[in-house]
Structure 1
Amino acid sequence: MQASTLLPTIAVFSLVTVEFGGHALLRLIAVQHGTLTALRERFFRAGHAHAGVLLVLSLAYFLYLPRAEFSSGAEWLFGILLLAGVLAQSGGFFLHLALGAEGRSSPGTHLTRAGAVLIAAALIALGVGLAQHL
């Protein structure tokens, strides 16, 4: 199986889980704990928003990945790098939601930044691959 077949399938099903998870978790928190604090609400929204937008970005990425004519191994590497970055960046918001405090860095903020670096690396790799085949 090719990376450009399996990885977008994972991204599409992940979008469904992001939608369902956002709805279910927000409802669960509202029922069990009342309202969210402003900080928790911001990070809760940011985590889901980033996950959704970045997964849609990954779908476009996987359309262009074969056009870069990378080896199969490189396609897997860059595709997994992108999805790991999406998971890390959006997951970092949720980790900060659990461990962080307003105005202070936490393991979640570090994970979010690391995710951004992984996404950037995957995008740069694709850009270079596409530029080589202009």
Structure 2
Amino acid sequence: MEPTKVLPIIAIASLVTVEFGGHALLRFITTDRDKLGEFRERFFRAGHAHAGVLLLLSLVYLLYLPRAGFSDGLEWLAGGVLLAGVLAQSGGFFLHLAVGEQSARSSGTMLTRAGGLLLAAALIILAVGLAGGA
């Protein structure tokens, strides 16, 4: 199958997990707020929001990817880097929620930064392809 047919399916299916996360966050806020605490609630919100916004960005990205004129292999690579970046950036917030401490770096903050680099790389790849194909 073509990458621009498979990768959007993955992104859309992943949005279901974001919806579940929104439900879980609402439940924590309305019933178990004291259990979660302000620090963890902040990172839960950040991970949830980044996941939703970045998955929507990925759908737009994947609409433009065929216009870059890349081979299927490069489309798989670019789309894979993008989706890995989405998972790493938003997942890093959740990892920090689980293992991090307030005002301290953790493996979660490192993962979030790595996700940002992957997202930047994917966006640059697409921009270069679109500029060359224009």
TM-score normalized with structure 2 length: 0.93
Please list every run of at least 4 consecutive aligned residues from structure 1 whose deviation after the TM superposition is greater than 3 angstroms: 28-35
Q: Tell me which residue corresponds to 2:95.
A: 95
Alignment identity in percent? 68
| Shift, 1:37, TM fit | 1.3
Structure 1 unaligned runs (5+)? Answer: none
In 2, Cα distance between the equivalents of 1:45 and 1:24? 11
Contact 1:30/1:36 (8 A) holds in 2: no
Q: Does 1:4 align with 2:4?
A: yes
Q: Does 1:105 align with 2:96?
A: no
In 2, Cα distance between the equivalents of 1:108 and 1:24? 20
Q: 1:112 to 1:15 in 2, by over 3 A?
A: same
Structure 2 unaligned runs (5+)? Answer: none
Over aligned residue pairs, what C-alpha RMSD do you find?
1.6
Aligned length: 134
Query: C-alpha offsets along residues 29-61 of structure 1, whole Å, 9 cap, x if unaligned?
Result: 865674421111110000000000000000000
In 2, Cα distance between the equivalents of 1:34 and 1:102? 16
Q: Does 1:71 align with 2:71?
A: yes
TM-score normalized with structure 1 length: 0.93
